[in-house]
Amino acid sequence: MELIENIDQITRPFKNAVITIGNFDGVHKGHQSLFQQVTEKARQLNGTSVAMTFDPHPLKALGISGPALITRKDQKFELIEKCGIDVLLRIPFNMAFAAITAHDFIETVLVNKIGMKAIIVGADYSFGKDRLGNIDLLKTEQDRLGFETIVSPWINDMTSGLERISSTRIRKIVTEGKVDQAMKYLGRHYQIRGKVIKGRERGGSQLGFPTANIKLHDELCPKVGVYAVTVETTKGNFRGVANIGYSPTFGDQMFTIEVHILDFNHDIYDTRIRVNMVKRLRDEKKFNDIHELSLQIKRDIDIAKDILEKNGHS
pLDDT tens digits for range 84-99: 999 999 999 888 888 9
Domains, the chain, ranges and CATH? Answer: 2-152 (3.40.50.620), 187-310 (2.40.30.30)
- Confidence band, pLDDT 50/70/90 cuts, at residue 204: very low
Q: What pLDDT, on a 0 to 100 scale, did the predictor assign at position 159?
A: 56
pLDDT tens digit sequence for 88-144: 999 998 888 889 999 999 999 999 999 999 999 998 899 988 888 999 999 999 999
Q: What pLDDT, on a 0 to 100 scale, did the predictor assign at position 131?
A: 84
Task: Check whether 249 has a pLDDT greater than 80.
Answer: no
- Confidence band, pLDDT 50/70/90 cuts, at residue 211: confident
CA 174/CA 297 separation, integer angstroms: 23
pLDDT tens digit sequence for 33-92: 999 999 999 999 999 999 999 988 777 766 777 789 999 999 999 999 999 999 999 999
Output the CA–CA distances (angstroms, integers) from residue 260 to 138, 175, 227, in the order listed. Answer: 52, 22, 10
A 10 A CB-CB count for 183 gives 18
Task: Determine the 3-state secondary structure of 3 from DSSP.
Answer: strand
Residue 127: partners with Cβ closer than 8 Å, 6 or more residues away: 21, 102, 105, 133, 134
A 10 A CB-CB count for 214 gives 25
What is the model's pTM?
0.90
Tell me the average pLDDT of the chain.
Answer: 90
- Confidence band, pLDDT 50/70/90 cuts, at residue 201: low
Task: Determine the 3-state secondary structure of 248 from DSSP.
Answer: coil
**Which amino acid, 177?**
G
CA 182/CA 199 separation, integer angstroms: 29
pLDDT tens digit sequence for 8-19: 999 999 999 999
- Confidence band, pLDDT 50/70/90 cuts, at residue 200: low
CA 301/CA 68 separation, integer angstroms: 30
Buried-exposed string 34-71: b where 16+ CB fall within 10 A, e elsewhere: bbbbbbebbeeeebbbbbbbbbebbeebeeeebeebbb
Q: Which of 30-44, 161-175, 219-233 has the lowest mean pLDDT?
A: 161-175
